[in-house]
Amino acid sequence: MGILEYQASQRLAVEASNGDGNEFYSLLMAAIRFADTDNLEKLESVFPEVANELWARYKAPGGVLVTDNQKPVSVVYRRIEE
C-alpha cells in the first residue's frame, strides 16, 4: 500500500458519501466485491451479514430484494418516460 491507495480511498469516500449514514456499509460492500481470496475470507468472517446481503443483491435482478420497500430504478425511469 502507498500514496496511490490512500488517494483512491479519499475518492471512494467522497463518492460513497451521500449523507444518509450508510457510507460504511457501501464501502464494505465495495471492499468485499473487489477483495482477493484471502481478504474476501477475512471480510466475510468479520461482516457476514454485509457479505450475505451483497451476494443476495448480486444475484437479484437489479440488486432489488423482495424485502426492499422501493421500486427498482429502472421501473421508476420507465414511468417517468411514459
Domain ranges across the chain: 3-81
Report pLDDT for 41.
97
Given the C-alpha cell 437479484, which residue does it identify? 60
pLDDT in tens, 29-71: 999 999 999 999 999 999 999 999 999 999 999 898 888 876 5
Which triple of cell numbers denotes residue 69?
420497500
Non-local (6+) Cβ contacts of 25 within 8 A are: 50
Q: Is 56 left (phi over 0), alpha (psi -120 to 50) or beta?
A: alpha
Non-local (6+) Cβ contacts of 50 within 8 A are: 25, 28, 29, 32
Give the integer Cα–Cα distance in Å for 66 and 76: 16
